[in-house]
A and B are shown apart, each in its own frame.
Chain A
Amino acid sequence: MNALKNPPGVKTTGMWLFVLSDLLTFATLLVIYTALRIANPDWPRPFTLSPAIVYATIMTVVLLASSLTMVWAVAAMAEDDRKNTVKWLLATIAGGIAFIALHLTEWRHLVLEDKITASTGLFGAVFFGVTGLHMLHVACGAVYLSILTAGVARGKFSAEDIETGGLYWHFVDLVWMFIFPLVYLMAVKP
């Protein structure tokens, strides 16, 4: 665990800068979403408690679980335990893929049953814009972690490389902690 107590290197500092700049992108989108929600008394509230909110809650728990496995991957790599690092990275990727699969199922429900698409008004545009951008981040994270996993299995990459990947993954998780309540829970059917 000594590697975790060292000061951040160039790679983690670079990732922090990326994370903070990307955080501003999501903050802008979510502040605008919330301002629109407040300013429009007739803002659509399409989500039923079951299945929509139950689904979104499960997605949140899955993403949180993938963050836990990512922490374990970082800790294993700090101990130079490559076997367990690969195991926990694969579990994290599986969590990311499960999140995307659940998300697409939920999107499908919204499009086919509630007839809401990205072009059916302000709600659809902002909803699919925010959640779509987040899903793209999860997909990119899964690819990024897959590259790290393949490298670790071949004896490449350092503990800082895995920690940098972890920072990205936790950031994606952190952003969802705002999307879930502001976009889903604030649009539950009255």
Chain B
Amino acid sequence: MTYVKVWIGLVALTLVEAGLAWIRTAPTLMLALLLVLSLIKAALIAWWFMHLRTHRPKPLTVLIPMLFVFVGLLLSLLPDGIRAGAMR
């Protein structure tokens, strides 16, 4: 039953995302809101469906190399990110 509730939550968040496009939210605000909603959905999938709640991979060995690549990726694209405020 919990899984069904999580699924309903995921569908509801998807509809909220589509609703943001429907009401023509400003691009910069929309990008920020969509990223937050997507992260919540991804967390719900990982925590409940992928069983991170009960089955955890060894975090240090798995996550630390990924963190370095992620930070490097963000830094390399920072100049473009600064222009997000002028997005049309």
Contact = CB atoms under 8 A, between A and B. Distances in A.
A37 interface: yes
In terms of DSSP, what is the predominant structure of the interface of chain B? helix
A178 B49 CA distance: 17
A4 B51 contact: yes
Nearest to B17: A181
User: Range of interface residues on chain A?
Assistant: 35 or more
A31 to B, nearest CB: 6
Interface stretch (A13-21, A102-110, A113-121, A137-145): A13-21
Is the contact region of chain A dominated by helix, strand, or loop, or is it mixed? helix
A180 to B, nearest CB: 7
Nearest to A171: B50
Contact of A182 (B18, B24, B34): B34
Interface in A41-70: 41, 49, 53, 57, 60-61, 64-65, 67-68, 70
Contacts of B7: 64-65, 67-68
A12 B66 contact: no
A53 to B, nearest CB: 6
Interface residues on B, range: 35 or more
Interface string B31-56: 10011011001100110111100111
A117 to B, nearest CB: 24
Given A41-B87, A53-B18, 13 more contacts: A13-B57, A16-B62, A20-B63, A36-B80, A38-B83, A57-B18, A68-B3, A68-B7, A166-B49, A174-B45, A182-B34, A182-B38, A185-B18
Nearest 5 pairs of A and B residues by beta carbon: A181-B34, A16-B57, A35-B80, A177-B41, A185-B21
8 contacts: A16-B57, A20-B62, A24-B69, A38-B83, A41-B86, A64-B11, A65-B7, A177-B45
Interface of B: 3-4, 7, 10-11, 14-15, 17-18, 20-22, 24, 27, 30-31, 34-35, 37-38, 41-42, 45-46, 48-51, 54-58, 62-63, 66, 69-70, 73-74, 77, 80-81, 83-84, 86-88
